[in-house]
Amino acid sequence: MAQIHATAIVSSEAVIGNGVEVGPYVVIGPGVTIGADCKIGAFSRIEGPTTIGERNVFYGHASVGSPPQDLKYRGERTALVISNDNIIREFVTINRGTAGGGGRTTIESNNFFMAYSHVAHDCHVGSHTIFANNATLAGHVDVGDHSTIGAFSAVHQFCRVGDHAFIGGFTVVTQDALPYVKTVGDRPAKTYGINTIGLQRKGFEQDTLEALDRAYRILIRSKLKLQDALQKIESELGFYPEARYLVEFIRGTSKRGFIR
């Protein structure tokens, strides 16, 4: 059975799973579904429609499933979907989607959101990401698996962050952030090679790291035109899945280009 503190306010239209712990002064609204063994810290607020998977931990004062901060929003029914095993620290804010952006904000599994980080409407966050303190996504941002967004960094709307990307603290991301690469700086941000140490810690083999470094140099350091550089990466390094993903990421749908 769920453990609900006497001071918590839980809507009769919310669905609370087995083993859920709801702390003091929590507010859970209608249209909220919380999976088994989640922990909701004191003073947190969860609004619906929101679906939360299992074993997620929300520390105090989190605000989850609130309406989008979009002047075009007129109360349309939109949603937030969170998967499993996420850690959401104090004062984190995550908004629902908008009708114009597909109607859903999604968070996959095993992510760590540090205090005061923010995920805006219609964002899609993969798995195993880290959002450091005050990391902020504007609307319509896609964040790939295993990426890290540093403290006080901001990602502009409609940008993409690739798998295993590393965004340093206080960075302003106004174009797509390349996968596997370190991106750091304020207007304009710049790339500083692949994130070798981070990728080593995640178990990447040395030959893969060397291939990614070679691909980065072809893409950024050579004087080749973009399409020529991508073709060279494919021809020389295409047997590495990571190099192919880098090329596919750049060729993928992008509204703002990518940071070099």
Catalytic residues: 121-122, 139
Cα–Cα distance, 110 to 35 (Å, whole number): 15
Cα-based angle 130, 91, 19 (whole degrees, multiple of 5):
80
Q: Could you please report the per-residue DSSP string of 94-152? A: EE---GGGTSEEEE-SS-EE-TT-EE-TT-EE-SS-EE-TT-EE-TT-EE-TT-EE-TT
CA dihedral 119, 139, 68, 110 (to 10 degrees): -30
Q: Could you please report the per-residue DSSP string of 152-210? A: T-EE-TT-EE-TT-EE-TT-EE-SBBPTTEEEE-SSS-EEEEE-HHHHHHTT--HHHHH
Q: What is the 3-state secondary structure (H, E, C) of 54-94?
A: CCCEECCCCEEEECCCCCCCCCCCCEEEECCCCEECCCCEE
* Alpha carbon distance, N-terminus to C-terminus of the chain: 52
